[in-house]
Amino acid sequence: MRVPGVAALAAGVAEDSVLMIAMVVRQMLGRDGPDGRGAAGQNGIRPDGQASAYALGVSQPASDFRTAMGQFATGVTVVTTLDGDTPQGITVNALASVSLEPPLVMVALDRRRFIIPALEACGRYAVSILTEDQQWLSDCFAGANVTPGREAFCGADWDPGETGLPLIRGAIASIECTVLNRFEAGDHFLYMGRVDHVRLQDETAPPLLYHRRRYLRIERATTTTVAGKPESPAD
């Protein structure tokens, strides 16, 4: 597997973004723990009044956390929206499928990102899943010093989707969403989106992957059937 290094992705994509997605569970599900008895609060006391057996707030070096999350391989997407009639986009790898019925997705964005005002004014966003041949788009939308730059939508070919949002031409798939909720999680905003339309462009194209702060390209792989329940994604 060939692993070309890149630094530009760090401008728009951070490993700690991935963990932000899990944090919304506490806000959405009443802070219940996996055993249904309630998760402990910051004072170590669960909502049922019982003391937690585990200490909270243990100090952890940020570098260790970043390294650990870097072990989690992800795909790479460009999240787009409209600023009036002008398309805007940013590289994002913190994407999660939240629900099938109704179809919901969520993206995590650092609250300092330039695209936040346009996204919130528009109230909608699209996600285009990049192929391995679109690394240059990932770099550009992450803020790389290239021409044309992000302010010129990276010179990317795009089409308006069914809802008018800009979709990257040649992406594996694109999803158009309406923002239902915004959750605050640390230094990120989590945008829960209702899926309004899905465009499948090239389901057989190899995806661009991100792992340990580097891009990955699939050169040799085998597939294995997932064993699970009938409602499993494998089915």
Q: Domain residue spans in the chain?
A: 8-36+59-216
The radius of gyration of the chain from alpha carbons, rounded to an integer in Å, stands at 19
Mean pLDDT for all residues in the chain? 80
Whole-number pLDDT of residue 216? 84
Query: Which pTM value belongs to this model?
Result: 0.73
Neighbours of 135 (CB within 10 A): 18
> Under 8 Å CB-to-CB from 52, ≥6 apart: which residues?
40, 44, 45, 46
Whole-number pLDDT of residue 39? 45
- Is the model's pLDDT at 122 over the cut of 80? yes
Whole-number pLDDT of residue 218? 80
Q: Higher pLDDT residue, 212 or 191?
A: 191
The CATH homologous superfamily to which domain 8-36+59-216 belongs is Electron Transport, Fmn-binding Protein; Chain A (2.30.110.10)
Whole-number pLDDT of residue 129? 98
> What band does 52 get if pLDDT is binned at 50, 70 and 90?
low
Whole-number pLDDT of residue 9? 39
